Each structure stands twice: as C-alpha cells, then as structure tokens.
Chain A
Amino acid sequence: MNALIPYLVSVFLLLLIGLGCLMMKRDMIRMLIGLEILFNAANLNFVALSLSRAGFVDPLGQSIVMMAIVLDGCVIAVGLAMVLNAYKHYGTLDVRKLRRLRW
C-alpha cells in the first residue's frame, strides 16, 4: 500500500487540476486539455493499481488503459470538431461567449 501512495496522490492532483481546468479556463481547447487530464487521472489510477498485485503486473488493468486511451482519443477528436464548428459560428474560442442557450 505504501508504494502506492505517491501514485494515488498524483491521481488526486491530476483530478484537481483537470476539474480546475474545466471550471476555470475560458479557452475551449484548454477545456479539452483539461478533459484529457481528467481521463489520464483515471488511467493513471488503473496503472497504479495494476501494480499492486505482488510481484507482477496485472494485464487487465493495463489493457483497460489501452482501451480507455483509444476511446478518450475519439471523444477529444469529436470535441475538436465541435470547437471548429463553434469557431465558425461564434468567431471566438471563449467558452463564456457560448451563452445563448440559457435558463
């Protein structure tokens, strides 16, 4: 368990940074990066916990990370496409300007 603590702390930090990015950044691309950080927090958790089995690495955890990376990549790709289209409509990458839909 002790060996895990640095990893778990990193995961927690990544979580904080990711959420903070999403909450506080204005730029849409930066939000996507924040999203990616959040995904990576989870991936890191997987990798860290797959190490916890004594002596060897559990393949299940690592294969999940592979799959998750692929899927996250797809999500980000779609997100970028949307950012592109949003730029076409709004002329800016500032997410706070995307306020026309409210209440």
Chain B
Amino acid sequence: MVMISPLSASFLPLPLAVLLLGGGTLPLIGLLAEKTGLRRLRELWAIAFSALNLISIYLLYQELRASPGRVIVSSLLGSPPLAGCFEIDTLGVYMAGCVALLGFLAVVYSYHYMEEESRLTEFYTLVLLMMAGMTGVALAGDFFTLFVFWEMMGISSYVLVAFLKYRWGPIEAGFKYLIMSATGSAFLLLSMSLIYGMSGTLNFAYLSASLRGVEPSPWLLLLLATLIVGFGVKSAIVPFHTWLPDAHPEAPGPISALLSGIVIETGLYALMRVTYLTFTPSVYRSVFAALAVITMTVANIMALLQNDLKRLLAYSSISQIGYMLIGLSTGTAYGLMGSLLHILNHSLMKGLAFLAAGNITHQTGMRDIEKLRGVGRMMPYTMLSLSISLLGLGGVPATNGFISKFILFSSAIGAGMPILAVAGVLNSALSMAYYLRVMKNFISTPEGEFEAEEAPALMVAVNLLMALLILLLGLWPQPAIRYADAASRMLVEGLGRYIQAVVGR
C-alpha cells in the first residue's frame, strides 16, 4: 500500500524536516543568544527540536502501524527512479527512532556537560545535522539520498570528534577519522557507480528488483566487497575499525555516546539494507560470519587491558558490532530481529556507559581506570547507571542486553551456524572480564588523591532514566521485540511490498 500522507508528503519526511529546520535555524538562534545574553537559548532550542523529532518519529510510527506492511514513499521534486526518494517502512522508522531517542538524551545531557565550552552554536548545529543525516540514511529510498545524508552525518561527525580543538588528542583522532571515513565514502561512491553500471538505477527498490537472485558474477562479488569496505569503515568492522579507538575517546562525552551508540549502527543498518536488498543470503553469509567472528574476537582482546575508560568502551563498541553482524549473517528474519534489537539495546547501554563516563570525566577530569579507583563510591548514582550498562553489555539476564544476545545466538544456531553462537558466547564471557574489572576498580576503596562529587542533577537524571529503560526492556521486552520483529520482516518477507511500493507507482 502506498500513500502519500501529510506527515511524509511535501518531499521530506517530517522528522527529517524538523531536524533540518532545527539545525538550520540554530546559527541564527546562536547569534540571538550572543546578542541578548540569553545564554541557554541554544541548548533549549536544540533540546526542543530533538524532542520534536522524537514526537514526529512517534507520529510516523503510528501512521505506519495503522495499516501493517505499509510503506510510504515520498520524493524530492519528482518521482523515482529519476529523482531521489525516501521509502519509509517500519525498519527505517525503527532506526530513526533509535537515533531520535539517543539524540534527545545526549542533547539533554550536553546541557550541563558542554556548558563550559565555547562555540556552542556550532556544536548544537552539528549535532542536529548529524542526527538529520542519520535519520536521512535510515529513511532513504535510494543511493543518491543515502549518500547525501551519509556525508552529512559523516562531515558533522568529523568536526564533532575534533571539537575540542585546543587539545592535540581530538585533532589527531579527528584527522585519522576523517581520512579513513572519507576513504570509506570513496569506496561507497565506487560501489554506487558499479551498481549504476550494472543496473542503470540507484533506487533501492528497482535495484532489488533487477539484481536480486542473479547468479553471482565476479562483478557482483566485486560490488559486494566494495560495499562491505564502504559501509564497513563507518560501522567499524575489523579490519576497518582502526579509527574508532582513537576517535571515540577523544570526542566530547555526549558525542562519544552518539557515535558509539548510533552512528556506527547507522553504518551497519545501511550495510544491512543494501546487502539484503541486492543479494540473496547465500552470497554474503560466510563473509559476514567470518567478519563477525573476527570483529568480536579482536575487539574483545584489544579491550582487555586498556587503562583508558573511554578507549575500553570504544573497543567494546566494535565487539558489539560483531554481535550484530552475527544476526546479519543468518539471513533470516529472526536473526535480523536480534540485530535490530541489539542496535536499540546497544544504543541505550553504550550510550549510558559513555554518558556515565562523561560524568566521571566532567567531575574529575581523568579517564584512567587505575587512577580512578574508588570513584564509584563518591558518585553512587553514576556508578549505579554505569554498572547497569556494563552488566547489560555483558548480557546479564534482567537487562535488555541479555534478551538481544539470546535472540542473536539462538538465531545463529537456528540458521545452521552454531560456531557463531559458540564464538558469541565465549566473547560475551570474555567481555565480562573487562567490564567487571572496570566495576571492581570503581567500587574499590579509594586510594587516590582525588575527590569527586556527584555530577549535576540533570546529567544524573539522564543516566538513571537510561538505566531504568535498560532494566525495563530487560524485564518486559515484549514491546521492543514486537517492534523489532515488524522492522526485520520488512527486509526479509516484506521485500516484495517494499519493491512494489516504488515500482508499482
């Protein structure tokens, strides 16, 4: 069923319009704030727009739920396949929802965290534009749109990583990130050109209709390899991940949370979308499985003895991407559902972990785990949220991490790849080693010479809210599972509807 509705009509989906409007007007608001001296105006504007974004995602979701299996198509100035279009289905809204949720929480968190910094106008503009980019990627219906918003997301994130430019760390990390990520974009562009050469179109639906099920020829395999590199750099699959351990720690607190929590997952989502649309599972199964195992293992090993808290969490993000790749490699709706659920859960858990780490760095200025021994006792609420997030990342029952990991591993077994499940379980155990090490260090008796107070109430409140969500989704996962299930079905069983929505116009 295809309908153009008020929410998605007028050539831009509503969430995207909201974010672009917010990001576009923020420089003016910043100017206003400078002139009138209302210093908090920028923050409040950003918070308001990210809240509006959350609401519009919800409205979009309601509209989609009204008739199941519905796909909304809206295009920019023209009609597909000649023009770019957005194809809004449950999967896209799911991803955009994750972006909106974590984005809102991070922006609220930055209210206090970034208050000492300068150039805040640029900061909030970039954050909103980054969120707009990610939402655009999630809702994109063809490669053109995808690439535009991919670059929007990318460029904003380059600048945000290097935001604290008066220190050498962010600059070095930012430069490396830029070079590697732009290389990835170049490969992405290359793969787009190959697709264009092979099928004459860049529209996802048309692409799927023409290329799917075709016998894999060398060109197609070249395409797959280039795609994997193109998306893999951004989603931090080993061995394309080397920028991440530098970039995520050096970024400011809430940006790290956004980066780890949702930007790399957007890369994974794009990979998911394109490969599922273009190839049948038999083509990419083994490759993804191998990449999954390599990613998980290498990242976990690298995280084991890290002393820098944020670097440890960054490596942990890479390994979590590995888990999501397990779900991708199964090729079934169930596995995909596990991946999608893990995307949501990871954004909450890793986001919370980084925000809690942000609390600690905000109060103490340090990131070294050994030196921060006992900080948990001085900052109990932060420690509580950090513990819940770390336990969730390790997959302890009663947290949502357990639910998604369970689904991922059982889907691996169900798809006939038990080795993946075994590797996953072993890696979970391994990851608990360094999570518990962090927790143990922080809860021990303080022996350092530092004093720390609990962070400002708003930051702590955001942390506790996320911790509550983690526990809630762990004990009552039914709504999230249902949502992720609907989303995953769009790619596996609902593919026909997806194609029909555009081709049948």
- Within the assembled complex, what's the spacing in Å between the Cα atoms of A43 and B196? 12
Among residues of B, the one whose C-beta sits closest to the C-beta of A102 is B246
A72-87 contact mask (Cβ, 8 Å, vs B): 1 or 0 = 1011001100110110
A101 is contacted by which of B147, B169, B196 (Cβ under 8 Å)?
A: B169
B197 touches A45 (CB 8 A): yes
Number of inter-chain CB pairs below 8 Å? 116
- Within the assembled complex, what's the spacing in Å between the Cα atoms of A90 and B193? 38
B169 touches A64 (CB 8 A): no
A79 is contacted by which of B165, B178, B189 (Cβ under 8 Å)?
A: B178
CB neighbours of A50 from chain B (8 A): 196
Among residues of B, the one whose C-beta sits closest to the C-beta of A41 is B190
A38 touches B175 (CB 8 A): no
Given contacts A39-B186, A41-B186, A67-B144, contact A53 B178 (CB under 8 A): no
Other A-B contacts than A35-B182, A43-B193, 10 sampled, CB-CB below 8 A, are A15-B190, A18-B186, A39-B182, A41-B190, A42-B186, A42-B189, A45-B194, A50-B196, A79-B179, A95-B175
B229-273 contact mask (Cβ, 8 Å, vs A): 1 or 0 = 000000000000000011000100000000000000000000000
Interface residue? B212 (CB, 8 A):
no
Given contacts A35-B179, A74-B155, contact A60 B147 (CB under 8 A): no
Interface residue? A57 (CB, 8 A):
no
Among residues of B, the one whose C-beta sits closest to the C-beta of A82 is B175
Given contacts A58-B200, A67-B147, A71-B148, contact A98 B189 (CB under 8 A): no
B197 touches A49 (CB 8 A): yes
A100 touches B196 (CB 8 A): no
CB neighbours of B201 from chain A (8 A): 60
A67 touches B148 (CB 8 A): yes
CB distance from B466 to the nearest CB of A (A): 28
Q: From B147, B171, B200, name the one whose CB has the most chain A CB atoms within 10 angstroms.
A: B171
CB neighbours of A68 from chain B (8 A): 147, 189
A100 touches B172 (CB 8 A): yes
Given contacts A74-B155, A101-B246, contact A35 B186 (CB under 8 A): yes
Interface residue? B60 (CB, 8 A):
no
B183 touches A38 (CB 8 A): yes
CB neighbours of B168 from chain A (8 A): 89-90, 100
A79 touches B182 (CB 8 A): yes
B202 touches A45 (CB 8 A): no
Given contacts A68-B147, A98-B172, contact A78 B158 (CB under 8 A): yes
B196 is contacted by which of A41, A49, A72, A85 (Cβ under 8 Å)?
A: A49
Q: Among residues 3 to 44 in chain A, which have CB atoms less than 8 Å away from a CB atom of chain B?
A: 15, 18, 22, 28, 31-32, 35, 38-39, 41-43
Given contacts A60-B82, A79-B175, contact A46 B196 (CB under 8 A): yes
A86 touches B171 (CB 8 A): yes
- Within the assembled complex, what's the spacing in Å between the Cα atoms of A83 and B154? 17
B202 is contacted by which of A64, A78, A82 (Cβ under 8 Å)?
A: A64
B165 touches A85 (CB 8 A): yes
Q: From B154, B169, B174, B189, name the one whose CB has the most chain A CB atoms within 10 angstroms.
A: B189
CB distance from B406 to the nearest CB of A (A): 33
Interface residue? B151 (CB, 8 A):
yes
B-side interface mostly: helix
Among residues of A, the one whose C-beta sits closest to the C-beta of B82 is A60
A60 is contacted by which of B162, B178, B187, B196 (Cβ under 8 Å)?
A: B196
A52 is contacted by which of B167, B175, B197 (Cβ under 8 Å)?
A: B197
CB distance from A101 to the nearest CB of B (A): 4
Among residues of A, the one whose C-beta sits closest to the C-beta of B168 is A89
CB neighbours of B130 from chain A (8 A): none
Given contacts A52-B197, A82-B175, contact A43 B169 (CB under 8 A): no
CB neighbours of A49 from chain B (8 A): 193, 196-197
CB neighbours of A58 from chain B (8 A): 200
CB distance from B490 to the nearest CB of A (A): 26
Given contacts A41-B186, A82-B174, contact A60 B158 (CB under 8 A): no
CB distance from A35 to the nearest CB of B (A): 5
B250 is contacted by which of A32, A79, A101 (Cβ under 8 Å)?
A: A101
- Within the assembled complex, what's the spacing in Å between the Cα atoms of A39 and B179? 12
CB neighbours of A60 from chain B (8 A): 82, 196, 201-202
Interface residue? B12 (CB, 8 A):
no
Among residues of B, the one whose C-beta sits closest to the C-beta of A47 is B193
CB distance from A22 to the nearest CB of B (A): 7
Interface residue? B339 (CB, 8 A):
no
Q: From A41, A50, A67, A75, name the one whose CB has the most chain B CB atoms within 10 angstroms.
A: A75
